[in-house]
Amino acid sequence: MKRRLSLMLAVLLPCIAIAQQPPLRLLVGFPAGGSNDVIARHLAQGMSDQLQRNVIVENKPGAGGQLAAVALRSAAADGNTLFLSNSHALAMIPLTVRQPGYDPQRDFVPVGLVAISNDVLAVNPKLLGDVRNLKGLIDWANAHPGKGSVGVPAPASDPYFGVQILARDFGGDVTPIPYRGDGPVVQDVVAGQIPAGIGSIGAMMQYEREGRVRVIAVSGPRRLPSIPHVPTYVEQGLAGYGVSGFVAVLAPAGLPTDLVRRYNRAVTRVVESPAFAAKVSELGVLPPPVRPMRLARASRRRRRPSPRWWSARDTRARDPARHSRPSHRSSPWQAPRPRGIATMTVLIAGGGIAGLSLALTCQQIGVSFKVFETVRRIRPLGVGINLQPSAVRELMDLGLGHLLDDIGVRTRDYGMYTKHGLHIWTEPRGLQAGYRWPQYSVHRGRLHMMLYEELLRRAGPDCVECGWAATGFADEGGKAVLHLRNAEGADRIERGDILVGADGIHSAIRRQIAPDEGEPVWGGAVLWRGTSRAIPYKTGASMVMIGHSGLRFVAYPISAPDPRTGLATINWIANLNYEPGQPWNKEDWNREARLEDFLPRFTDMRFDWLDVPALIAAADTVYEYPMVDRDPLGHWTVGRTSLMGDAAHAAYPVGSNGAGSAIIDARELGRAFLEHGLTPEALSAYEARMRPATAQVILTNRVAGPDSILDLVEERCGGRFDRIEDVVPQEELARHSVQYKAIAGYSVQATNERPPTIEPGVRIR
């Protein structure tokens, strides 16, 4: 009995110890599933056993690990938080970002080195044929000008500089394209979205075995035993890229030495264990544990890169001595400068969907830019919106395609129903309709944050300045001048070559261009918008419009169903009409509403496939928005200033194209900059392409948006029929749908056959 008791205690005591302590957080700067995350999860499991304490991995992806490093700096030195950093966050970000938000020497204490990591350069054999080495890649890139994009896991990372050295030393027309971690790079190389990319060994080798990529170079000073057939960059003549990265555990400065030692012992035991080595060897990393002080020395060494490294940062530099220390006057990653010409800047007023899409486009084509946003902090606001394939295509060309499935749902079809739930018309959407790109239904806030985080990651944290509202503009001495004011009433001006007003429906820039215009036009409709968790209906990715314009309900899912509950997030919009003459609340996307103002009108909409009142009642928050638009303007451009997005062409949100046309504006502006430079001619060319078409959409959405069929059916039969063909012939339904798509610029054929707005890899000269 005594023996049984002591056995039980032996089993239970560690559990009690684990339960008593708070979990130890191990921060990781990348999304789940990447190589850092996988290492962290194996390490956390081993450390839990060693420390007899729960160790949980907390992913804080963003800006190449910078956000996680900043989180560690803010954490208390109480032994409850550690950070699994890679060399990029520990050594490169502090060297290349003006205000990284942490100083590794001052703010962190090293706990233990976990792994030495190398990466590999792989090409897509379908695109590049027989290319088998760096020279072959360079020859191919030079024979295909503007197409030599090489995906890299982060801006200003070792691979980013490696590609720059490749371009400079081999005279190759190759450009590093920064991604959000190596997972998406690998996916895009495999899918043939880009010809080449640099990623982790584990991920790339898996696809090499399947013949879908060919690995042509490995980083580090010597070949790796696990991939002996792959030559190093150095062997192939690229003397400046002989580095390996490392992965290490850090703690906040001030952690008591006995805890540092304890954690170091735990880390060392885990990484020395054959089990850990077996698990991480698939990733191609080598585990060399060292004691804390040796790690500190290693990270100090990495803070002093060779002059050669610095010269790779800026291809203008021929004198390495000038770059022995980083210049901090401005973030060099804001937009790589074109060779041999002075920096030209696009000022962007407004950091919404339009402004951030333009900023990402500028970054992609090598145009320097700065965004000024009135709110103090960008937050994920709004509810659902739709992105038509024509806009999705542009996001994919911006290298964002791999992020869209994380934030939304690929819409499959679009159906119209009477207020009694009778079926009028369904048409396929996105890939199902024959487009080469999907349509997405997404949460506006998640799309906005995705653009924002990706922009900061690619261009550095200084490229968006929040808390400054545009108040007006001028043209002075061949420059665009932007007037700004902050919440405290302080004024300042910024000068650039071009100014774009992307400041939404209440644009201050537009107000100066059209001073007599007044407030947006309200036609009498009010929208109540919300999201609810519910069982998806129809195909699970169906957008439905029910009723008619005086009593309309729209719904579409914006998330996949939770596998545990079966519930998805369904976006919905309830729409009632009032006398346009009566006063209504000024439009504000964030105004919260009361259910009793509109729910009673929708209580009859209970169908066997959708219970509308239940869906409305399940929403956490409901927003109210008077449906407004603005009359088309006669011109958008004054000298060096123009408009885009809602500032240029706010239309009724009935055609699923508000955000999409803002994205297309951004790409057309980018195209115009490439064709005409940062000149007034570029703005005129952009306006000539976009203004007439968007004006037509504004006018069409007022009277004959895609849902005007609902009104026709309501008018003809009050929403009741035996056969829809007796009310509206199928040909009429089909014709209407095709016509609207043609007006809105997203017909299947036009979208599929149009060449890219901006050819991949093209940069301003």
Ligand X SMILES: Cc1cc2nc3c(=O)[nH]c(=O)nc-3n(C[C@H](O)[C@H](O)[C@H](O)COP(=O)(O)OP(=O)(O)OC[C@H]3O[C@@H](n4cnc5c(N)ncnc54)[C@H](O)[C@@H]3O)c2cc1C
Min separation Cβ 714 and ligand X, Å: 24
Q: Which is nearer to ligand X, 589 or 607 (CB)?
A: 589
Report d(CA 684, CA 421) in Å as an integer. Answer: 48
Binding-residue pattern over the window 406 to 445 for ligand X, x denoting contact by CB under 6 A: --------------------------------------x-
Contact set for ligand X, span 386-405 (CB under 6 A): none
Q: What is the DSSP string of 391-449?
A: HHHHHHHTT-HHHHHHHEEEE-EEEEE-TT--EEEEEE-GGGGT-SS-EEEEEHHHHHH
Type of residue numbered 696: Q
Q: By CB under 6 A, is residue 706 in contact with ligand X?
A: no
Report d(CA 259, CA 270) in Å as an integer. Answer: 17
Q: By CB under 6 A, is residue 502 in contact with ligand X?
A: yes
Q: Report the candidate in 403, 304, 494, 436 with the shortest Cα–Cα distance to residue 750.
A: 436
Q: Which is nearer to ligand X, 328 or 492 (CB)?
A: 492
Report d(CA 84, CA 91) in Å as an integer. Answer: 13
Q: By CB under 6 A, is residue 705 in contact with ligand X?
A: no
Stretch that binds ligand X, among 96-104, 196-204, 264-272, 376-384 (CB under 6 A): 376-384
Q: By CB under 6 A, is residue 508 in contact with ligand X?
A: yes
Min separation Cβ 664 and ligand X, Å: 11
Bridge partners, residue 484, by sequence? 470, 492
Helix axes 257-272, 35-51, angle to 10 degrees: 110
Stretch that binds ligand X, among 107-115, 160-168, 343-351, 707-715 (CB under 6 A): 343-351
Q: Which two tokens stand for residue 195?
A: 């010809």
According to CB under 6 A, which one of 159, 352, 401, 705 is a site residue for ligand X? 352
Q: Which is nearer to ligand X, 121 or 451 (CB)?
A: 451
Q: By CB under 6 A, is residue 355 in contact with ligand X?
A: yes
Total number of residues that touch ligand X (CB under 6 A): 33
Stretch that binds ligand X, among 197-205, 294-302, 504-512, 722-730 (CB under 6 A): 504-512
Bridge partners, residue 472, by sequence? 483
Stretch that binds ligand X, among 37-45, 50-58, 77-85, 652-660 (CB under 6 A): 652-660
According to CB under 6 A, which one of 55, 68, 349, 762 is a site residue for ligand X? 349
Min separation Cβ 732 and ligand X, Å: 28
Q: By CB under 6 A, is residue 73 in contact with ligand X?
A: no
According to CB under 6 A, which one of 394, 503, 624, 707 is a site residue for ligand X? 503
Stretch that binds ligand X, among 126-134, 333-341, 377-385, 578-586 (CB under 6 A): 377-385
Q: By CB under 6 A, is residue 680 in contact with ligand X?
A: no
According to CB under 6 A, which one of 662, 672, 678, 758 is a site residue for ligand X? 662
According to CB under 6 A, which one of 39, 114, 353, 764 is a site residue for ligand X? 353
Q: By CB under 6 A, is residue 94 in contact with ligand X?
A: no
Min separation Cβ 700 and ligand X, Å: 16
Stretch that binds ligand X, among 22-30, 366-374, 407-415, 695-703 (CB under 6 A): 366-374
Q: Which two tokens stand for residue 299?
A: 């990270």
Report d(CA 273, CA 384) in Å as an integer. Answer: 48
Q: Report the candidate in 520, 545, 507, 505 with the shortest Cα–Cα distance to residue 386.
A: 545
Bridge partners, residue 466, by sequence? 373
Residue count of the chain: 765
Task: Please list, in sequence order, all residues whose beta carbon lies within 8 angstroms of the beta carbon of residue 9, skipping any fewer than 6 positions away.
Answer: none
Residue 501, classed as helix, strand or coil, is: strand
Q: By CB under 6 A, is residue 658 in contact with ligand X?
A: yes
Torsion-angle region of 243 (φ positive above 0: left; ψ -120 to 50: alpha; else: beta): beta
Q: Report the candidate in 415, 408, 410, 416 with the shortest Cα–Cα distance to residue 435.
A: 410
According to CB under 6 A, which one of 201, 354, 398, 526 is a site residue for ligand X? 354
Report d(CA 335, CA 341) in Å as an integer. Answer: 13
Binding-residue pattern over the window 511 to 530 for ligand X, x denoting contact by CB under 6 A: ------------------x-
> CB of 760 within 8 A of CB of 147?
yes
Q: By CB under 6 A, is residue 653 in contact with ligand X?
A: yes
Q: By CB under 6 A, is residue 62 in contact with ligand X?
A: no
Q: By CB under 6 A, is residue 381 in contact with ligand X?
A: yes
Q: Which is nearer to ligand X, 197 or 355 (CB)?
A: 355
Q: Which is nearer to ligand X, 509 or 758 (CB)?
A: 509
According to CB under 6 A, which one of 79, 202, 461, 645 is a site residue for ligand X? 645
Largest CA distance in the chain: 94
According to CB under 6 A, which one of 36, 87, 374, 701 is a site residue for ligand X? 374
Q: Report the candidate in 720, 568, 743, 719 with the shortest Cα–Cα distance to residue 654.
A: 743
> CB of 170 within 8 A of CB of 135?
yes
CA atoms within a 13 Å half-sphere pointing along the CA-CB vector of 636 = 32
> CB of 558 within 8 A of CB of 570?
yes
Q: Which is nearer to ligand X, 323 or 393 (CB)?
A: 393
Report d(CA 734, CA 361) in Å as an integer. Answer: 36
Q: Which two tokens stand for residue 392?
A: 């999705």
Type of residue numbered 307: P
Report d(CA 637, CA 510) in Å as an integer. Answer: 10
Q: By CB under 6 A, is residue 691 in contact with ligand X?
A: no
Order of all β-strands in the sheet with 81-86: 55-59, 24-28, 81-86, 245-252, 108-117
> CB of 249 within 8 A of CB of 114?
yes
Q: Which is nearer to ligand X, 85 or 571 (CB)?
A: 571
Min separation Cβ 114 and ligand X, Å: 40
Q: Which is nearer to ligand X, 117 or 374 (CB)?
A: 374
Report d(CA 449, CA 311) in Å as an integer. Answer: 33
Q: What is the DSSP string of 65-84?
A: GHHHHHHHHHS-SSSSEEEE
Min separation Cβ 489 and ligand X, Å: 14
Q: Which is nearer to ligand X, 79 or 355 (CB)?
A: 355
Report d(CA 439, CA 432) in Å as an integer. Answer: 9
According to CB under 6 A, which one of 40, 93, 163, 659 is a site residue for ligand X? 659
Report d(CA 281, CA 264) in Å as an integer. Answer: 21
Contact set for ligand X, span 572-611 (CB under 6 A): 589-590
Report d(CA 181, CA 326) in Å as an integer. Answer: 24
By DSSP bridging, strand 568-577 and strand 622-629 are unpaired
Stretch that binds ligand X, among 166-174, 406-414, 656-664, 744-752 (CB under 6 A): 656-664
According to CB under 6 A, which one of 112, 351, 415, 705 is a site residue for ligand X? 351
Q: By CB under 6 A, is residue 646 in contact with ligand X?
A: yes
> CB of 523 within 8 A of CB of 407?
no
Q: By CB under 6 A, is residue 375 in contact with ligand X?
A: yes
Burial 587-608 (b: 16+ CB within 10 A, else e): beeeeebeeeebbeebeebeee
Q: Which is nearer to ligand X, 193 or 637 (CB)?
A: 637
Q: By CB under 6 A, is residue 74 in contact with ligand X?
A: no
Q: By CB under 6 A, is residue 466 in contact with ligand X?
A: no
Stretch that binds ligand X, among 86-94, 244-252, 257-265, 378-386 (CB under 6 A): 378-386
Stretch that binds ligand X, among 31-39, 290-298, 486-494, 639-647 (CB under 6 A): 639-647
Stretch that binds ligand X, among 118-126, 540-548, 641-649, 749-757 (CB under 6 A): 641-649
Q: By CB under 6 A, is residue 761 in contact with ligand X?
A: no
Binding site for ligand X (CB under 6 A): 349-355, 372-375, 381-383, 385, 444, 469-470, 502-504, 506, 508, 529, 589-590, 645-647, 653, 658-659, 662
